[in-house]
Amino acid sequence: MSVLSLDSDAGTTWSLRATAGPVPAELASLMAESVPATVPGEVQTDLMAAGLIPDPFDGDNESRTAWIGYCDWQYSTTFTWHADGEARHDLVADGLDTAASIRLNGREVARTQNQHRSYRFEVGGFLVDGENELVVEFRSPIEFAREQEKVLGALPTVMHHPFNAIRKMASNFGWDWGIDVSSSGIWKSMRLESWSVVRIASVRPLIAVEGGSGTLTAHVGLEWADAGTGRAGAGSAAAPDTRQRPAGGPAAGGQSVTVTVAGQTATASVLAGDASVVVGVEAGAVELWWPRGHGAQPLYPVEVAVADDVWRGRVGFRTVEIDTAPDEHGSAFTFVVNGKRVFVRGANWIPDDAFLTRMTRERYRSAIADAVDANMNLLRVWGGGIYESDDFYDACDEAGVLVWQDFLFACAAYAEEDPLRTEVEAEAREAITRLSAHPSLALWNGCNENIWGYLEWGWRPQLAGRTWGEGYYVDLLPSLVAELDPTRPYSPGSPFSFTRYAHPNDERLGTMHIWDVWNERDYSVYGDYRPRFASEFGFQGPPAYSTLTEVVHDEPLEPYGPQLLVHQKAADGNLKLERGLGAHLPQPRDFDEWHWATQLNQARAVAFGIEHFRSLYPLNQGAIVWQLNDDWPVVSWAAVDSHGHRKPLWHALRRVYADRLLTIQPADAGLALVAHNDADAPWRATVTIERRAVDGTGSLATQTVQLDAPPRGIAHIVIEADAATAADAGRELLRASADDGSGPAWWFFVEDPELELAGLRDALQASARRTETGYEVRVTARSLVKDLTLQADRLDPRARVDSALITLQAGETHTFVVTSDAALEPERLLAFPVLCSVNDLVTA
């Protein structure tokens, strides 16, 4: 096979122009004159590179650049080709966003309408010897969605554009955390492939493990150069064929297909025209792949060869199931890997950049490191995004991070008729096939909230009996998973109860989303829930100060400034932030306090929920917080902002997602110390529980206990009344710490505004010094200091700090390590709002 890359980095020169739509008068030349384009790329990134539009992320430029989504666009290039003796010449497009027509030398090759598919078209009859012209034209995504909505009928959705009428990334049209870019472009690679005889169209390397031995069953799709002998349809995988061909050399006119894994090889023969073949390889004794915290992640190279075509990938040998068996409490939802239950500590994942083509392998690995460093073992790829790049799944394979993969349906009703249904099936077949090799992939999920939405969001009157997607979630998608990837479990949706006639968001059954907290109720209400598995919940907070002020230029800065509100997409979002402070923290006196207090409250809210959920173990088997990441600078639920700053929430997650968690929880008799041990070894330690004075004057009551929590188990210790009862609630606290360094766990008898805290300058002694890699800030408490955090990015946007949310008693010391190459005055690291705490918020 010979490959002619048509990507820009291979030297192909592309150009871009508008062909229809509301192009601003000052850019009218775009209708006649082209600008340089990059492939893979998107219209906005090309127009930015040409200096024709401002950054849509900055200020209120979202509205200034909204016209782009209403326009049609044309990409064009020329390339040189000469006949090379190969029998077939295919134009391959790995990704087109979204409604595209492709012309080669003035003749239409094809029309496409699905961002989530790849396409392959035979173009031997279109090519000319020498220079060839390739043109790809894109219909306005907004206008195309409106056109398809008229064909299918308007169906309920949560956004202002009918994203549910087409197969395009839903959040590209905006979300309650996302910018509306409504992009178009050749968003993945394009190339010309020339080949003869036969090529590998697809590989599904499915694994099985029994008694320590592994088996790989390779389902190999084939395409033959002779179009009359089993050629797969354009853009689709070859039809499945379960016939086992005899081993050995090829039959007359046929070929041999060879599969190698773990040093073992098997060969099967195929006849010319066979669309697929199944080749089984007994791999022998193998090391099992485990999620992080449960074992290692060995990966075995796989090679599939036929004629001169070779496919290479990797697999991990493991089994995965979801236990949803009914029990005395309802129905469980438990991940089981290699026969072992896995408690999930996870986060929801959204596209990491609103402009997808800016993502790199290094950015994916950095984001997965954010999850790993926060002690997570699962990421859920949310259904309003994309089937992610292999770079994402490769990083998860290597790190032992399980992946829950939604099919791409979110918060809307979807028609089950053509033209949508055909596209849904094609994209699902391709996604299942492509991702089946990744051991990290642990669950296929039908949709996000659509079943819940049908029941509770007022859809049924508008639907009036029409289809809304149920057939996808309970019929088509599970059938495809059973056909193509029977090694993995399937869930119809999230939330879902796995019980007929049950409400899909019943805490007793399966998975649950908790959104009355944040939207309507105080975060203390998390304590009223007893979810079997919390697959969505969260609380908002602003991004790092430097991230926010890079794009928000209101003078003065204030929560309801016009540009800040552009970067707050949730309905009444800033009002909810203020209401969410409740009795927990005082109302901020200025913008600096607003930024710090709402970041802190976000961290506390989520930590409160997770500590409660973990205290319910084994009733509760996991939590997936909304959300790990952002796709642009915005006030959101993310733990890591779009510039890679780990918000206070991230630091709270690192603590509450630790393998071993000490937490003080309300109990029937007063208070209890709960120790959740999510590790393979017993947790044995001496724990000291003290009621102490806030001002550090001494211990008021002490209880010493021996902790013995079994492996992957939990221990509950009743705190004695003398320790659990305050004599002066505003001046006392409860603290539990173990002699192995675990904890501490804290309990305060009153909310912070009622707690008698000293001002930070009185409560703390601090110093800073320069180091080879940045700075160290050393702090020593004179009395209680709560949630001490160093916002070094206020001085250097590139600065990173190793820790946050540090609570110290009198006499205790902590050192913050700052990574920065900026020349800063060290003393500036010691003043509010750079060095900040609860003390700053509650004292004059």
pLDDT tens digits along 371-394: 999 999 999 999 999 999 999 999
Quick check: 234 pLDDT over 50? Answer: no
Tell me phi and psi for residue 576, to 5 degrees.
-70, -35
Q: Give the pLDDT confidence score for residue 237 in this predicted structure.
A: 39
Q: Looking at residue 844, what is its pLDDT?
A: 75
Confidence band, pLDDT 50/70/90 cuts, at residue 709: very high
pLDDT exceeds 70 at position 626:
yes
CB atoms within 10 A of CB 651: 21
**559-569: pLDDT as tens digits:** 999 999 999 99
Burial of 457 (C-beta count, 10 Å sphere; 0-12/13-18/19+):
middle
Band of pLDDT at residue 826, cut at 50, 70 and 90: very high
438/390 Cα distance (integer angstroms): 9
| 827/271 Cα distance (integer angstroms) | 77
The pLDDT of residue 669: 81
Quote the CA–CA distance of 400 and 389 in Å, as a whole number.
Answer: 17
SS3 30: helix
Q: What percent of the chain has pLDDT over 90?
A: 95
Across 228-244, average pLDDT: 36
Alpha-helix runs per DSSP H in 28-162: 43-49, 61-64, 141-152
DSSP state for residue 406 in the 8-state scheme: E
Q: How many CA atoms lie within 13 A of 697 on its CB side?
A: 6
Give 227's pLDDT tier (boundaries 50, 70, 90): low
Q: What percent of the chain shows pLDDT beyond 70?
A: 97
Stretch (H or E) spanning 781: strand 774-781
- Write down the pLDDT at residue 134: 98
Q: Which of 578, 560, 579 is nearest to 552 (CA)?
A: 560
The strand pairing partners of 779, in sequence order, are: 766, 814
Q: Is the pLDDT confidence value at 224 over 90?
A: yes
Checking if the pLDDT of 230 tops 90, the result is no
CA 607 to chain centre: 19
Per-residue pLDDT at 252 exceeds 80: no
Predicted confidence (pLDDT) per residue in 672-686, tens digit: 999 999 999 999 999
Instruction: From residue 483, give the alpha-carbon distance in Å to each of 241, 479, 761.
Output: 11, 6, 66
Interhelix angle for 648-656 vs 591-615, to 10°? 20
Tell me the H-state helices in 552-689: 562-566, 573-581, 591-615, 648-656
Helix (H, G, I), strand (E, B) or coil at 567: coil
pTM of the model: 0.96
The length of the chain, given as a count of residues: 844
Burial class (CB in 10 A: 0-12, 13-18, 19+), 538: buried
Per-residue pLDDT of 296-343, as tens digits, reads 999 999 999 999 999 999 999 999 999 999 999 999 999 999 999 999
Digit-coded pLDDT (tens) for 63-98? 999 999 999 999 999 999 999 999 999 999 999 999
pLDDT value of position 254:
83
The Cα 809–Cα 145 span in angstroms is: 59
Main-chain dihedrals φ then ψ at residue 169, nearest 5 degrees: -50, 120
Burial tier of 28 (Cβ tally within 10 Å: 0-12, 13-18, 19+): exposed
Contact present, 349 and 382 (Cβ < 8 Å): yes
Closest among 506, 510, 513, 507 to 492, alpha carbons compared? 510
The Cα–Cα gap between 700 and 723 comes to 8
What rounded mean pLDDT belongs to the chain? 95
**Best CA proximity match to 664, nearest among 583, 623, 605, 723:** 723
Task: Determine contact, residues 59/551, Cβ cutoff 8 Å.
Answer: yes
Q: Does the pLDDT at position 487 exceed 50?
A: yes
Taking only the tens place, the pLDDT of each residue in 130-152 is 999 999 999 999 999 999 999 99
Residue 100 has pLDDT above 50, yes or no: yes
Q: What is the mean pLDDT of residues 743-763?
A: 95
Is the predicted pLDDT of residue 251 greater than 70, yes or no? no
Of 788, 783, 841, 777, which Cα lies nearest the Cα of 812? 783
Decide if pLDDT at 514 tops 90: yes
